Amino acid sequence: MAINDSIALLPLDNRPVSYLLPKQIADFSGINLILPERKYLGDLKRGSDLAYIEQWLQETVRVYHGTPLALVISLDNFIYGGLVQSRKHNFTLEELKNRCRGLLQQIPTGRYGFSSIMRIPNYNSNEEEKDYWKDYGEKLFKWSELTHKVGDKNIATVQDIPLIMEEWYQSSKKIPSDILADYKGHRDKNLTVNLIWLESLHENLFEYLIFACDDSGKYGMNVVESEYIKKQIKNHNFASKAKVLSGTDEIPLVLLTKAVLRKSKYKPTVSLLFNSVEGKNQIARYESNTINDSVTGQIETLGLEVRDYKDSDITLFIHCADSVQGDHIFGNKPDDTKNNVSNLINQLENFDKPFIVLDLAYANGADPNLIEALFNSNVNLGKCYGYAAWNTCANSTGSALSIGINRWIAEKENRFNETVFKKCLLTRFLDDYAYQSQVRYKKISEEEVNLKMKPFVEKFSKSFQINNLDIHFRLPWNRSFEIEVQIN
């Protein structure tokens, strides 16, 4: 991709998935990706340097003025200083509005933006939320759920409403009034900012805008807000310009890929092969829709045509359990997946076209049954264009699609770097399977991670036929939730 067809990305924060994965995709695809310096981006404890971000954005726009630059902007990072900070900040509403106006005045028209609809986690921990979440997180989640049910006549029968209202009233009494007021005020700020972004579409300031449902459930104020935004998108005829999607961390990858698709004369067709009808219709963990809807929503956002697998360019093999997803973090196991795995592997062994594997039997990591079978099979891994199994269904789907589609386009445009691609795919198997499902536990140290990951490094490096790699692992946010895979 020529220098005047560059893509500038303002990531969510400095995590590997936010900063390094887009860079890996750009490196194997020949994309000139322009990123801010990582040291100025936010982490778990501090927000991004907002003055630096403004300066970086202004300078990027100035340098590439007059060129077909695609600009992908994390609006949470620009306004609040990052995804975590969007939940914990102390900005006034007027300060936030001023920051919105400042951004809208300085960006050129036709850019890509994404903003989160604030999540409501069901646990008592203030690691990523305000301080009072350590004592009242579960109570606030319950209050939010009941607030949704009280206001939605389609959820309960007439006979149930008095009982739900009484339960809702009692739930609000369990939360100090100042905390409840602060929380409602914080949500109102988030919604107001999102509606400002939506309003800007009247002036075509964004080529495409995504509102991300961050860690959602079936009920809650975040679901109410997402449905409201969906209605506003419909009422203003913005369906071609904006969408509400599950997930958050994968959204910059999806928009990066959308920008690439718009610039390229090549656009792959895709087919979907689920290995469980029961599984694809389950509500995805940490999302408010089914696995099927989550997957198809990402494909629709990218504007890809779905065909029969015999006629498509890339086939998505989507691995599910016959039950609700498991979860490696909380030790939840789904129904036995061995038969589903066997059927999938049998299909792949007789498949000689590009494919992507979405490993969705579990949240927060891969299905060991699938990975063990895959690497002991006769599947042609050279035709594997993408793989993911981390955190949520939407996270995995968006990242695997982005990896696979960018490889396919890069091959068509003769700018594909196979060695870098193998390192990218190796990173996903080491992170999503080896670490998340086999090695990780809450108090693990970096030294222990590096020791326990060695056998997996040797096994997967051999499978991908890449040797003499220097691979180290870090815990970049000083917690076990994510690792950084450093491959030299």
pLDDT digits (tens, 9 = 90+) for 20-29: 999 999 999 9
Mean pLDDT of 353-362: 98
Q: How far apart are CA 488 and CA 184, in angstroms?
A: 47
CA separation for the pair 276, 420 (Å, rounded): 33
Q: What percent of the chain has pLDDT over 90?
A: 90
- Does pLDDT of 170 surpass 50? yes
What dihedral do alpha carbons 343, 347, 350, 352 form, nearest 10°? -150
How confident is the model over 406-440, as pLDDT tens digits? 999 999 999 999 999 999 999 999 999 999 999 99
The answer to whether the beta carbons of residues 273 and 309 sit under 8 Å apart is yes
Q: Is the pLDDT of residue 2 over 50?
A: no
Task: Count Cβ atoms below 10 Å from residue 177 Cβ, excluding itself.
Answer: 9
| Cα 436 from Cα 450, distance rounded (Å) | 14
Q: To which residue do tokens 């039997």 refer?
A: 361
* Residue 365: pLDDT over 80: yes
pTM of the model: 0.96
Residue 33 has pLDDT above 50, yes or no: yes
pLDDT surpasses 90 at 5: no
From the number of C-beta atoms within 10 Å of its C-beta (0-12, 13-18, 19+), residue 283 rates as middle
What pLDDT, in 10s, does the model give residues 220-258? 999 999 999 999 999 999 999 999 999 999 999 999 999
Residue pair 394/298 in contact by the 8 Å Cβ criterion: yes
Which pLDDT belongs to residue 254?
Answer: 98
SS (H, E, C) 56-120: HHHHHHHHCCCCCCEEEEEHHHHHHCCHHHHHHCCCCHHHHHHHHHHHHHHCCCCEEEEEEECCC
Confidence of residue 1 (pLDDT cuts 50, 70, 90): very low
Q: What is residue 41's predicted lDDT score, i.e. its pLDDT?
A: 98
Looking at residue 154, its pLDDT comes to 72
pLDDT digits (tens, 9 = 90+) for 74-101: 999 999 999 999 999 999 999 999 999 9
Average pLDDT in the chain: 95
pLDDT tens for each residue of 463-474: 999 988 999 999
Task: Name the residue among 115, 27, 20, 35 with its Cα closest to residue 71.
Answer: 35
* Cα torsion 312, 318, 323, 327: sign: negative
Percent of the chain past pLDDT 70, that is, above it, reads 98
Rounded CA gap, 483 and 432, in Å? 10
> Sorting pLDDT into bands at 50, 70 and 90, what band is 158?
low
Mean pLDDT of 200-226: 93
Q: Quick check: 229 and 211 in contact, CB under 8 A?
A: yes
Average pLDDT in the 55-69 region? 89
Between 383 and 149, residue with greater pLDDT: 383
Q: Please, what is the Cα angle at 84 between 171 and 88, to 5 degrees?
A: 55
* Lookup: tokens for 128: 């990523």
Q: Quick check: 328 pLDDT over 70?
A: yes
